[in-house]
Amino acid sequence: MTNLDAVEGLDALTRSLARRTPEQLAALLTRHAEPLARRPAPTELRGLASALWSYETLHQLVVHLDHPRLTVLATAARLSQERAGQAAPGPAAPAPGADYQSLMAHRLSFAHLATEPVPAQDVFAALDATSPGLTRTAAEDALHALCDDGLAAPGEDGTIVVPPRAPQLLAGHDLGPFLAHAPRPVPDTAAPEERAATVPPTSPHDESRAAVATLAATVERLLASLATQPAALRKSGGLTVREIKRLAKAAGADEPHTRLLLDLTLAAGLIALTRTPSGITALPTGAYDDWLTRPPGARLAPVLAAWSDLWDVPTHTPFGETPTALVRGHDRHAPALRHALLAALATVPLGAGIPLPAVPLTEPPQRETDHRTPWTDLLRAADWYRPLAVTRRPMAEERAAHTLHEAAYLGLAAHGTLTPLGRALLTDPQSLDEPLAALLPPLLEQAHFQADLTAVVPGRPSAALTGLLASAADRESEGHAVTWRFTPHSVRRALDSGHTAATLLEDLTRASVTNTLPQPLDYLIQDAARAHGRMRVLPAACCIRSDDEALLKELAAHRALRALGLRAIAPTVLVSGRPPAATLDALRAAGYAPALESDTGATTVERLPAHRATAPAPTRNPQAPLTLAHRLLGLPTQPRQTEGDRQTERDRQPATAGDT
C-alpha cells in the first residue's frame, strides 16, 4: 500500500460522511462526543474523518464495541493488512544483532501499518457467514453499524475500508469464533415449579424503590455536610481518610459508598474543587441550590447518569493503595464494564439470578471450562457485550463484583437481575426523570406536631420544611419517617438565627398538618423567647450588658464562668477577657441565653455557614452537534423554532380539501 492508498482510505470515509443528512451526522458526533472532545473541533469533513481514524480516538471507541462489531472489524483489519502486505511486501527482517534503528525501521515499516480495501464477502467468508441465516444477518448488521459509527467506510466498488491503525490495535486480541447472539448468563433448564419456588418475596421494583429512597436521603445529607464544612484535599490529591470518615458519619453511609457518592456528585456538577489559601477544598456549587428545589426524582437523575460514564470504580481499591475520593479517574474501561454487566443482567429472569459475591473477593472464581459457575457464566455473557472491557482487564473479577455492588446500592440491580430503573439507565442514561418519579413519592410540605415536643414527617420532607425544622429542632431519627425534637437549646438556635417567637410560631403553624401547634411547644417557644436576649454580648473582646443588674452580679460570681475573667465596669456592663464567640459559648454552656449584638447596638443574626464553589462550565448546548453538522456539510444552519413559531406557520398554510 502506498501513501496514496492511505489518502484514498480517508477519502472514502469523507465521501461516506458527506452522504449523510445533518441529523445523521449530528447523531455520529453525539455518540463520539467524548473522544472527539479531546481533539480540536473539526472545521471540515476531512478533519472529522482524520479525527475518527486517529489512534487515540480508535483506542477509546473499540472498547465500546460488542462482540459482532469488534470481530467484524478485527477480521476486516486482518484481511486488509494481509492484502497490503501482498501488494507491497515489507523489507526483509534485519540480521541477528542489528542495531536498534534497524529493528524499529523493520517493525514500523509501512507495510505493517498499511491497509487495503477488502470485499465484504471475504470478511463474511472468514467468519463462516456466507450462507443466509442468523450468523450472516448478524455479520451484516455489525458491518452496517461500523459504517454508521465511522469505524469503516464503503468503497466505490463495494469494498470495505478500515482505519490504517485498526490492524495494529486489534492484532493482539483473540476474540474466538463469531457469535451472533450473547450467551445466556443463566441457562434456563429448571422446571417451571422450581423456578416459581426461587422467586424472591420482594420484586426488583420494590427493592429499587427502597434503595433510591435511602440514596436520595444520603446524598442530601452528604451535600448538606459539605455546605456547612467544606472538605480539605491532600496535597497529593484526593480526600484524606479522616475527611471521608467525617462525611460518611454525616451522610449515614459506609466509607466505600461515601467515596462513590462524592465522585458521582462531583461528576454531576453538584460539588467542585476550589483552591483556597489553605489548600484545595471540596464544596457544593451554585447548582446545589437549584438542586434542592427539584423533586426527588429530578435530584437523583444526574447522579445516576454520572455513574454510567464515570472513569473509575470508586468502591474498588487495588491492593496496596489508599482508598480516597475526588481524584480524576483514569479507568477508561469502567463505563464499558458497567454497560456489559447491566446488559448481561438484563437477560436474567426473576428468580434465576445469582447472588452477588462478597467484596473484597477472598478467592478468584474458577475459570476452567470443566468447572463453570454462575459467576463465570455471567462474566462470559458480559464479555460478549464489551469484549475488551470485562475479563481481559487486570483484576477483572474484583472490578466486576464491585461494579455490581454499586449497581445494587444505586437501585439498578436486585435479586441478580436488573430493576426497571436499571433497564431505563441501560437504554438512555439521560432519561431517568420519569422512572425515578415513579419510585420516589413527592416531597412533603407539612409535618405532624405532637405534644411530646416532636415533629414527624411521614416521608421525605421538602427543602423548605427541612430548613425550618432544622433551624428550630434537632433531627432525632430517620427512615420511612423523619422525626425532629424541640428543646430549649434548639429553639434558642432559631432565635439566634433571626426568628422571633411570633414569626417562629407562625411558620411552624403553617407547616403543621392541622394548622395548629400543641400547647407544650407554644409554651416552650414563648419561654425561650422571654429569656432570649436578656443579656447582650458586644464584639469588643468583649462586653456583656443587661438591664438586669442582679443577673450581671450572678454572672460575675458564677464559678463556671471564671475562665471568662468577668468584671463589672458599670452596674449594667461586664467585661470579658475572651472573644465574643467564646463568651457566647461559655454562657450558653452554663445555661444562659445571651444574644449577640453588633457595635451599633443592633442584634446580630447568627446563621450557619453556607459555602459554595464557583459553578462549573455550562453544559454543552444540545443543538451544538446539529449546528456543527450543518457547518461541516456546508449547509445553512437552521434557526431554532419555538412551538409558537411552528403553530404560526401551520396557521399560515392554506387549508386543503381534506381539511374543510
Nearest-5° Cα angle at 219, 217 to 225:
105
Cell of 505: 410560631
Residues 6+ apart with CB under 8 A from 494: 471, 472, 504
Helix/strand/coil percent split, the chain, to 5: 50, 10, 40
Q: Which pLDDT score, from 0 to 100, does residue 156 have?
A: 76
Query: What is d(CA 343, CA 204) in angstroms, rounded to the nearest whole number?
Result: 16
pTM for this predicted structure: 0.76
Q: Which pLDDT score, from 0 to 100, does residue 3 have?
A: 43
By the 8 A CB rule, do 541 and 524 touch? no
Q: Where are the beta strands (DSSP E) in 464-619?
A: 474-477, 482-485, 536-538, 543-545, 567-570, 573-575, 595-596
Distances (CA, A) of 579 to 156, 492, 553, 586: 84, 21, 20, 11
Query: What is d(CA 544, CA 231) in angstroms, rounded to the nearest whole number?
Result: 35
Cα diameter, the chain: 108
What is the per-residue pLDDT across 14-60, written as a single tens digit (0 to 9) for each?
999 999 999 999 999 999 988 888 888 888 999 999 999 988 899 89
Residue type, 365: P
Query: What is d(CA 151, CA 115) in angstroms, rounded to the nearest whole number?
Result: 14
Q: Which pLDDT score, from 0 to 100, does residue 538 have?
A: 62
Q: Residue 224: exposed, middle, or buried by beta-carbon count in 10 A (0-12, 13-18, 19+)?
A: buried
Distances (CA, A) of 597 to 381, 489, 541, 600, 609: 69, 19, 12, 8, 18
Phi and psi dihedrals of 229, rounded to 5?
-140, 100
What is the per-residue pLDDT across 198-223, written as a single tens digit (0 to 9) for each?
567 778 888 999 999 999 989 999 99
Query: What is d(CA 357, CA 343) in angstroms, rounded to the nearest whole number?
Result: 18
By the 8 A CB rule, do 597 and 538 touch? yes
What is the per-residue pLDDT across 154-168, written as a single tens digit (0 to 9) for each?
887 778 999 988 888
Task: Tell me which residue of 55, 58, 25, 59 sits closest to 42, measured CA to CA.
Answer: 25
Q: Which pLDDT score, from 0 to 100, does residue 567 have?
A: 87
Which parts of the chain sit beneath pLDDT 50?
1-4, 110-111, 189-197, 364-370, 641-660
Query: What is d(CA 259, CA 387) in angstroms, rounded to the nearest whole number?
Result: 28
